[in-house]
Chains A and B, each alone.
Chain A
Amino acid sequence: MSLRDLPGARERRVATGGIELCVVELGEATRPTIVLVHGYPDSKEVWTQVARQLAEQWHVVLYDVRGHGSSTAPVPLRGGFTLEKLTDDFLAVVDAVSPDRPVHVVGHDWGSVQAWEFATVSRTEGRIASFTSMSGPSLDHFGHWIKQRVARPTPRRVGQLLGQGAKSWYVYMLHTPVLPELAWRGPLGKRWPGILERLEKVPPGDYPTASLPDDAAHGAWLYRDNVRTRLRRPRADAYAHVPVQLITPTGDIFLSEQLYDDLESWVPQLTRRTLPAKHWVPRTRPDQLASWIAEFAAANEAAPQGGIPVRDTAPKGAHADRFGGQLVLVTGAAGGIGRATAFAFAEAGARVVAVDRDADGAARTAELARLIGAPAAWAETVDVSDEQAMEKLAEKVAAEYGIVDVLVNNAGIGLSGSFLETTAEDWRHVLDVNLWGVIHGCRLFGKQMAERGQGGHIVNTASAAAYQPSRALPAYSTSKAAVLMLSECLRAEFAEKSIGVSAVCPGIVNTNITATTHFAGTDAAQEQRLRKRTSKLYGVRNYPPEKVAEAILRAVVRNQAVVPVTPESHAARFLSRLSPGTLRGIARLKPPL
């Protein structure tokens, strides 16, 4: 979809320094303004989806950088793309679209490099309210970053230099005369959309636009006019005079994450976000970007008017940069690992849907989640083994809260007892909850994630019993082994959709599961006694569910496949690979109950 298809888009031309810029506005002009600046070799259409979402609440402005899209190019090209001139352009656009009010700037790639200049030079002071940067460092900061590493070359710093040096191969290429222009106007320009689809997983469509070969040829001067001069003599006073939100895609093949290590010293008010994606996030993750941009801009709209400043509203839990504002659904959230996981995500600033068949427990989890940092939390009462109820839940969640970013299929029940004592009914029940519950979750919410096409993550709670056979837990272990295998198969399938799948194998954790475990082949009194006894053993072991929750968040951040948590789970996993015979021997032992 191109900009022309956007309802209510208004195009105008702004004259500045002998050229004309093509500016497009969306949304009501009376609202606060967000200006989106595109990168190389893009045009403003790279923002289409982000702009459409932002336009519901904001006055959104896009423009083609000089020499790109429908804007005219400077003559001669050499010397026409300096950051000073680009700042002139920006000020001209801002004066035209929002003369009396500072604007929120968002930049991607070279748009971000430019916007760093806007955010750090004095002549734009008072014209910018906030800046969201993605995949484009300040050339001045970059220059200092290199200088520091050259001046004190520890092995780690040399590694960082060489790493970034290798990632910047295209910068050297673009400094060669004429050749890049020929390539872009020739074969590269034709192949570029295909390359983006294949390497970057940018969804196919009518982007890039037809002007790409010219844009790319002109844009080479962005590099030639600025990179060498700035890196050689970086400005010493490149401090940001506005709050900055830094969004770092972790899979960016052009920029390493370490580039931003020292950013706090340049930016007094910095909010960090990380996104498991490649370079072209405006195309591949528009929903997440739109929500972060809007949230940050809104916080900085409120701040000068006596509202709460950005810093204090930012969540402080572990991985807050990654999960802030995301939608997380946890099943079995009324207690134990599920509840602890919901709380950990809440502390990271995620929105939480707490699902359990225990309505009171789920409501309690949602309430406390809100109190510790979740911007929103809801409770849903569902039995995960009930296919229709799960379908209804999936529809409701998508309609009311949005598409789930992280799904944690955690709900499960215990069942102990020898195979001969386990009835068909017992089998059905444990498989219905432990396996079918996970299947329903993955099927329904996984489908929504895949259809949205903007990545996501699924965590399935398996168990150490998934790879540790035992004569005492045949049905439970079977259900959990199935969950483990399901997770690994799904991981293979979903990889191409950028959806990660992890299986968590906690081990012996102090939760309520032992108090509700069914012991096959026992009468009520015996069962009660066994429940008490196992609960006591688990209590003595006393491994807290909070640590499992930490492991779950870490697994999502690192996209780990199989995650044993307790030491005994690690040991069993290790043995299952090194010496499965030993585990089979252990499996014959009668449990001490």
Chain B
Amino acid sequence: MASRVNDERAPELKGFRDVQRLAYACAEAVAARLKPGVTERDAARMQREWLRERGVRDWFHLPFAWFGDRTAFTGFKVPLQFFPTNRQLEPGMPFILDMAPVYRGFTADIGYSGCLGLHPLHDRLLADLEVHRELILREVRERRPLREIYEDVERLMIRQGYANRHRAYPFGVIAHKVDRVAERRWSPHVFGFGTQSLKGLLSDAVHGHRDGWSPLWSPYRFSDHPPQPGLWAVEPHLGFRGTGAKFEEILVVTDSRDPEQSAFWLDDDLPHVRRWAEERVAA
């Protein structure tokens, strides 16, 4: 039965997996080109151009880049502060690249944390994200209400000594649904968000509201329901005194009764997952 679920969705999942890989490849390529003096705007443009050259025409949201203490969202109050600024990268600074391209009708939304040079604290944060990935998957499989999982993630962060920075995200979300996006010749974006994807999210919200669920995974009451089948872009974000780190990738939730198949990460061959594996080997 497990494989049947997989088979049915296999072509669709492959499309999502491809675009997620493309986005991570972009992040790694751009990260490799970052050097002192590059601004957040430059980094965002580099991501945009790299993906455009490879056929991306639409976006769930335009690429972001945060440098230095902006990786921990220090002083973030209004959503406009998310947009790339002229902050320059300096040696030893952490950075986050975040992008959500739409490719052949499939969406990805990824977050990539890196650092220009050695930064033991940043390494620690990245390493500590691993348990969050495990915790989220385990609790989704247990079909715990999303709001409760959110609170458990936050509790874990506080126990680790960190601040929960996705509190600063719009609606405080830790994840949002992603879906296929209709390809249109003209796909404008407003405030950095693609209108086609927003339309999808909005229609999910309307339907969900009727059935008692929400496409946003947040600490609020509207997320007080078990995980809804579909694809969720999950993005736990740790902040600690001016240094921040996150990952973002797609979690597949199905209505299968087999726990293994009821939820799984779309792809396990991603930079942060490889990094944890390498660290384990080194240890």
Checking A347, A365, A512 against B161 with a beta-carbon cut-off of 8 angstroms, the contacting residue is A365
Contact across chains for B241 and A347 when beta carbons are under 8 A apart? yes
Q: How far is the CA of A364 from the CA of B162 in the complex (A)?
A: 11
Assess the A343–B158 pair: CB atoms within 8 A.
no
Q: B268 CB to closest chain A CB, in angstroms?
A: 28
A335 at the interface (CB under 8 A from B): yes
Are B158 and A335 closer than 8 Å at their CB atoms? yes
- B interface: dominant SS: helix
A368 touches B158 (CB 8 A): no
Bin chain B's interface residue count: under 10
A339 contacts partner chain B, Cβ-Cβ < 8 Å: yes
CA distance A368 to B124 in the complex (A): 9
Please determine whether A371 and B121 come into contact, CB atoms closer than 8 angstroms: yes
Q: Are B159 and A368 in contact (CB under 8 A)?
A: no
A564 within 8 A of B: no
Q: Which of B120, B158, B240, B241 contacts A512 (CB 8 A)?
A: B158
Q: Is A361 an interface residue (CB 8 A)?
A: yes
Complex Cα gap A579–B215 (Å):
53
Are A371 and B158 within 8 A (Cβ)?
A: no
Q: Is B160 an interface residue (CB 8 A)?
A: yes
Report the minimal beta-carbon distance from A227 to chain B, rounded to whole angstroms: 46
By a CB distance below 8 angstroms, the chain B residues around A339 are: 161
Interface size class, chain A = 10 to 19
A490 at the interface (CB under 8 A from B): no
Which residue of B is nearest A344, CB measured?
Answer: B241
Do A343 and B241 contact each other (CB < 8 Å), given the known contacts A371-B120, A372-B121? yes
Task: Report the nearest B residue to A367, measured CB to CB.
Answer: B124
Residues 343-371 (chain A) with a chain B CB within 8 angstroms = 343, 347, 361, 364-365, 367-368, 371
- Which residues of chain B (150-167) have a CB below 8 Å from chain A? 158-161
Q: Could you tell me the distance between the alpha carbons of A371 and B124 in the complex, rounded to whole angstroms?
A: 9
| Residues of the B chain whose Cβ atoms lie less than 8 Å from the Cβ of A368 | 121, 124, 161, 240
Nearest CB in chain A: distance from B37 CB, A: 19
Asked if A364 meets B161 with Cβ closer than 8 Å, knowing A347-B241, A372-B121, A372-B241, the reply is yes
Shortest CB–CB separation between residue A345 and chain B, in angstroms? Answer: 13
Give CA–CA (A86, B121) in the complex, Å.
Answer: 49
CB B162 to nearest CB in A, in angstroms, measures: 9
A367 to B128, CA, bound (A): 13
Q: Which of B112-127 contact A (CB under 8 A)?
A: 120-121, 124
Question: Measured between alpha carbons, how far is A367 from B160 in the docked complex, in Å?
Answer: 10
Contact B121 A364 (CB under 8 A): no
Given contacts A371-B124, A372-B121, A372-B241, contact A364 B160 (CB under 8 A): yes
Q: How far is the CA of A367 from the CA of B121 in the complex (A)?
A: 10
- Cα–Cα distance between A361 and B158 once the two chains are bound (Å): 10
- How many angstroms from the CA of A364 to the CA of B158 in the assembled complex? 11
| Residue of B whose beta carbon sits closest to that of A371 | B121
Residues of chain B having any CB pair with chain A under 8 Å: 120-121, 124, 158-161, 240-241
A/B interface sample: 15 pairs, CB < 8 A? A335-B158, A343-B161, A347-B241, A361-B159, A364-B159, A364-B160, A364-B161, A365-B161, A367-B124, A368-B240, A371-B120, A371-B121, A371-B124, A372-B121, A372-B241
